[in-house]
Amino acid sequence: MMFSSTLLEELYGENEMRNILLIISRDLSKLIKEKFFLVMRYISTLIQIFVYGVIISKIITFKNFYNYYLVGIYVILVFYVALNAGYDVLDEIRMGMLEYYLSLPISRGEYIVAKSISGGVLSTVYSIPILALILLLSNAFSPLKIIEILTLTFIFALSMSGIIIIISLQIKSPNISDIIYGVLVTLLLKLSTVYYPTAVMPSFYKYPALINPVSHITDLLRYIILGEGSYSIPPEIAFPAILFLAMASITFTTIIMERKVEGR
């Protein structure tokens, strides 16, 4: 992972790093215990790859569309797991767990960094089998590509978890957060290059897609997996954009948590 324990130790010190790792390991063990979620998400992704993907690639005659579509499916999986990890904070607010965390000998910043990193780690770990499958199906399996993709997956997932955490902490009302969460998911996925390149999009659709972080990560991964000509947003733009989003997300969540959050 990009945030190795040594890097965390440099940033936070030994005790703080231990706390962050404890929160991450707890979230990981929670994900493993929630077998139903795990299995259903894998089944849904496999159906998209082997049923929907095969059908749609016969309908759409765009060159090499199946491989193009596979990368999109991978991003959707990562996106949902990351959002789910961020949404966990909202769930914890609902269950009263936030009050518990706020009473523990950890800083608000540590908690939020841990939850965001959890989102990144969970999504990355969770997506490995599907990534391996997609690389095999695309004939693009290579250890270097796996490392590059997993690193980018981690950064992107961390950002998405952070954004959902910001919404959860700012809104606090679970019902309103649910609505915003639903709208955000729809907009980010539909107005993106996950399914189609911008070349075939109408202009009102194209411009939001070009500034959408989901498009950035999808096209960056397409560049790595499928090579030149497979993306709408060039990697020189997509990569800094993804990095900027991750830093902004962590910074904002930490500021909000430190300044505003009370348990109730």
Residues of this chain that bind other proteins (CB under 8 A): 15, 19, 22-23, 26, 29-30, 33-34, 95-97, 99-100, 102-107, 262-264
Are 76 and 188 in contact, with CB atoms under 8 Å apart?
A: no
Q: Which of 101, 74, 233 is nearest to 157 (CA)?
A: 74
Compute the least distance from the CB of residue 176 to other proteins, in Å. 17
- In the bound state with other proteins, the residue whose beta carbon lies nearer, of 39 and 54, is 39
Compute the least distance from the CB of residue 173 to other proteins, in Å. 14
Compute the least distance from the CB of residue 6 to other proteins, in Å. 20
Dihedral angle computed from the Cα positions of residues 66, 160, 208 and 65, in that order, rounded to the nearest 10 degrees = 0
Compute the least distance from the CB of residue 117 to other proteins, in Å. 16
Are 73 and 49 in contact, with CB atoms under 8 Å apart?
A: yes
- Cα Rg for the chain, rounded, in angstroms? 18
- In the bound state with other proteins, the residue whose beta carbon lies nearer, of 50 and 100, is 100
Compute the least distance from the CB of residue 9 to other proteins, in Å. 17
* Nearby residues of 31 by Cβ (< 8 Å), 6 or more positions away: 37, 38, 122, 126
- In the bound state with other proteins, the residue whose beta carbon lies nearer, of 10 and 34, is 34
Are 81 and 190 in contact, with CB atoms under 8 Å apart?
A: no
DSSP assignment of 173-211 equals -HHHHHHHHHHHHHHHHHTSSSSS-GGGS-HHHHHHHHH
- In the bound state with other proteins, the residue whose beta carbon lies nearer, of 32 and 183, is 32
- In the bound state with other proteins, the residue whose beta carbon lies nearer, of 113 and 149, is 113
Compute the least distance from the CB of residue 182 to other proteins, in Å. 23
- In the bound state with other proteins, the residue whose beta carbon lies nearer, of 240 and 263, is 263
CA distances in angstroms from 104 to 71, 92, 100, 136, listed in the order given? 41, 15, 7, 45
Q: Which of 149, 159, 157 is nearest to 123 (CA)?
A: 157
